[in-house]
Amino acid sequence: MNNIFLNIPFFWDKLIRKCGDTFFYPALLGTLGCIGLIPLLYPGIPQGHDLFFHLARLQGMLDALNEGVFPIRVNFSALDGYGYASGLFYPDFFAYIPVFFAKIGISLINSYKLFLFIWWFFAVYSMYFSLTKMGVEKFGAFAGALLYGWSSYFATDIFNRAAFGEVLAFPFIPMVILGLYNLIYGNFRNNLPLIFGFSALFLAHQITFILMCIISFLWCVLNIILFLRKLERILFLFISIFITFVLVSFFFLPMLEQMQYMEYNLTSRTIKSSIIERAVPFTRLWLELPYMKLEYWIPPGIGIIFLIIASQRLRFTLPPNIHRRTSDGLLIIGFGCLLAATNFLPWEGMMKALAGIQFPWRFYLPATAFLAAGCGFILSHLTQNDISKIRYWTWILFVGCGFAWYFNVAYVYAAKIHEGKMLTNFSPSMAGRLVASGIHYLPSGMDIEDIEERGKIVLSKNTIRMRPSFSANGETTLTFEGNSSDNQLEFPIIPYKGYAAQLILPGQNHIGLPILISSNSLLSVDLPKEYKTGKIHIYYKGTLVQKISAILSGLFFLGICVYKAFFVRRSRLI
C-alpha cells in the first residue's frame, strides 16, 4: 500500500509529461465529470423544487411538436387546456435539445438526464477554454473549471432545485467573462464572446442575464479610465450591445409585445413582492452544507474551497499588469455578489426594484463563476507549471471540490430515496398546479383556482345551442345554432396576443372575428345576430412582430456567420 502512494507522484508526473498539459487537463476534467455524474445512472431523478414545472414545459413542447406545431409559444395542454404561454416569457430556445431527445424515442426523464450530463460538460469546458483564452495556464484553467463544475451551487441547481433555467445559464457566464476581459483589457475587437455570451444568456435565463448586465456595467465603470484612454472600446461596447439586441429580438420583442397587451401576475405581483426574508445570513455564505428546518429555504454555502484559494492572493504581490487587474476584479466581483445575497443590500429600499429576481441568493451563480475564474488565475500564478506545486494543489482541489459536490448530491439522493421521491416516469397530470408554478404568466389577478372552478366550458351571454371541440394543438372549434341576437362567447383560453378567430358559415368565405378579453380575463368573441348558425374556429396564429423579429434575428445571425467565415479565410490567406 505504501508503495502505491509513493508511486502516485511518479505516475502523475510521467502522465503529464507524456500526454502534455493541452490534452491531460481536459481529459482529467472529463474523467472527473463522468465520475461526478454517476448518480444520474440511478433509476429516476430526485424530485427537485422546480422539476415538475420544467418537465411539464418539456412535455408540452413534445406534444406540440407531435401535433405539428412549430415554433412552440404556448403549452396548449396546460391548465386543463386553457394554455400557459411560458414560452412567450421564459425562453424555450435550449429546451428544444431534451425535447429532441424525447422526440427520437428516449423517455422524457432520460432525455432530461442526458441533457444535464451534456450541459455539465458544456459548462465546465466553457470555463476551461475561456480561462485559457485569457492567458491562464492549463492547470489554472482546469482548477477554475473544476471549482465551477463541482461547486455546491451547481449541484444544488441540478439535483435539489431542478432549476433548469439557471442550469442553462452556467455555460454562458464564462463566455461573458471572456468577452468583458477582451473589451476592458484585451483585444476589444474580438467581441464575439461578449455578443454570443449575452445573447445565449438571455435565451437561457433572463434573471441571470439581468444580474450579469448589472455586474458588467459595474465592472466597466470601475475601469472607466481604460475606456477613456481608448475610446474605441466604448464604440465596440455599443456595437456589441446593438448586435446582441438584434440577435435576441426574435424573443425580446414578442415578449415586450405580450407585456404591453395586458397586465400579468408577473408585473402586478412577482416584481412587487418582498424578498428580504430570503436573504442569506452572513454565517451561512461559505459552508457547503444543506441547511434544514429553516422558515425560508436557502441553498448551501458556496464552498470553503473558494475561501482557501482566494486567501492565497494575500501571499504574493503581482506586477501591475492585465492578469493582476483581471484576477483582482474577478475576486472583488465574486465577493460582492456574495454580499448581495445577504441583507447587506437594502432589499426593502433601493434594491426593491430587483424583487423580480425572487431570491437574493440568485447572486450565488455569478459569485460562483467569478470566484472560480479568479481562483483559476491565482492557482495559475502560484504553480507556474511547477509539477510538485500542481500536484499539491490538485489534491486540495479534489478534496475541497469533491466534498462540495458529493456531499450535496449524496444528501439529495439519500433524502429523496428515503422519502420515495425519485421520479422514474412523468405525465402532465403529475405536475398538477405546478405546471404554472408561480402563475407569473397568467393575467393579473387570475389564480389557478379560478380556472378550476370555471371548468373547460364555453360560456354564452345569450342562450344558444353550441358544441365545442378542443384539439391537442390548441385549436378550438365551436358549432352553434339558434343565435338570434348580438352575443358574446367566452372561451376557456388564456387570451395571449396572437390568437385568431374565424367565423365559418355554410357556403361562404371565412370571416375574421376580433379577439376580445372578457371581464374574467379570458378569450372572447362577439357574435353578431345576423349569424344564426355556423362554426367559430379559434387558433394561435402568432403576431406580425413575432414573424418579422424572427426574420431579422435569423438574417443578422447568418450575416455574422458569413462575415466571420470570410474574415477567417482572409486572415489565413494573409
3-class SS of residue 467: strand
Using an 8 Å Cβ cutoff, are 329 and 373 in contact?
A: no
Name the average pLDDT for the chain.
90
- pLDDT score recorded for residue 569: 62
| E strands, 153-194, in order | none
pTM: 0.93
pLDDT tens per residue across span 447-481: 899 898 988 999 999 889 999 999 988 899 999 99
Phi, psi of 318 (to 5 degrees): -95, 145
The span from the CA of 217 to the CA of 180, in Å, is 10
Q: What is the pLDDT of residue 319?
A: 64
DSSP state, 299? Answer: P
Local structure of 481: helix, strand or coil: strand
Q: For residue 259, what is its C-alpha cell?
A: 407585456
**Quick check: 349 pLDDT over 90?**
no
> Which residue, among 204, 229, 201, 203, has the nearest Cα to 214 in the 3D structure?
201
In angstroms, the CA 440 to CA 446 distance is 10
* Half-sphere exposure in the Cβ direction for 183 (13 Å, CA): 26
Q: Record the cell numbers describing residue 457, joined without a space.
A: 366550458
What are the tens digits of pLDDT across the range 119-162?
Answer: 999 999 999 999 999 999 999 999 999 999 999 999 999 999 99
Sequence-ordered strand ranges (E) for 400-522: 422-423, 459-460, 465-470, 476-481, 487-490, 499-504, 511-513, 516-517
* Region 406-432 average pLDDT: 91
Is 70 exceeded by the pLDDT of residue 6? no
| Torsion of Cα atoms, 177 then 182 then 185 then 189, to 10° | -160
Residue 494 is classified by DSSP as: -
User: Which carries the bigger pLDDT value, residue 365 or residue 563?
Assistant: 365
State yes or no: pLDDT of 117 exceeds 80.
Answer: yes
Instruction: Say yes or no to pLDDT of 371 above 70.
Output: yes
Residue 571: burial class (beta carbons within 10 Å; 0-12, 13-18, 19+): exposed
Mean pLDDT of the 84-107 span? 94
Residue 292 has pLDDT above 70, yes or no: no
pLDDT, tens digit (0-9, with 9 covering 90-100), for 235-272? 999 999 999 999 999 999 999 999 999 999 888 887 77
